Amino acid sequence: MTMSNKGALARETIVAFLGDIFRRRGGEEYLGEPVTMAEHMLQGAHLAELQGEDEIIVVAALLHDIGHFTSEFGMFSMEDTHDKHHEEAGAEVLDAFFPSLVIDCVRLHVAAKRYICATDPTYFSELSAASIHSLKLQGGPMNPDEIASFEKNPNVKEIVRVRRFDDAGKVAGLMTPNFDHYAPMIQRTVDKHFGTDPDSATM
């Protein structure tokens, strides 16, 4: 799935497009972690839902790594020597269909890791080996100027929360709902972006 598919997408088809990605490619390895890509993303959404987060945060947690599937540069691996910017690829695909909060959480979840590493002394020790490797490729902890710039984003708290769900979604064998459970939630989020909020009972 590459960026060339984006042109055919519409408000009515984006959820099916995302579901197709999960079904076809969700079984791929996730960055050397003990979960697949789909398991990782579903776990993030599941944990957000369990903690009573608003739907928009649950959706952001579910879709934060969609760029690993849509990037023309392919998946990250532990052998990589440069960053593939999956966060930008994912944000580009979702940008026309989702509220800015979701796009910020997708585009900046890598920056959020760098931010938390610089502001929370305990955080680095919680990262997996794969996250530490990718952190090095992504620029390491933020410097003071980068921290100040990041904190100007009005969605900074939500971005950091989604990053925490990202980090937590790496549990082998954790049972979660499947993509179809979240599909109506995703559609409601899309519809709100377009200025409508249809009755969830009809979805």
Residue 14 to residue 40: CA distance in whole angstroms: 21
Tens digits of residue pLDDT in 36-72: 999 999 999 999 999 999 999 999 999 999 998 875 4
Tens digits of residue pLDDT in 181-198: 999 999 999 999 998 665
For 107, half-sphere exposure in the C-beta direction (CA atoms, 13 angstrom radius) is 17
The answer to whether 41 and 27 have CB atoms below 8 angstroms apart is no
CA torsion through residues 138, 158, 37, 8, sign? negative
φ/ψ of 152, rounded to 5, equals: -75, -15
Residue 38 to residue 137: CA distance in whole angstroms: 23
User: Which fold, 10-202?
Assistant: Hypothetical protein af1432 (1.10.3210)
pTM listed for this prediction: 0.85
Mean pLDDT of the region 114-129 = 91
Band of pLDDT at residue 80, cut at 50, 70 and 90: very low
Band of pLDDT at residue 73, cut at 50, 70 and 90: very low
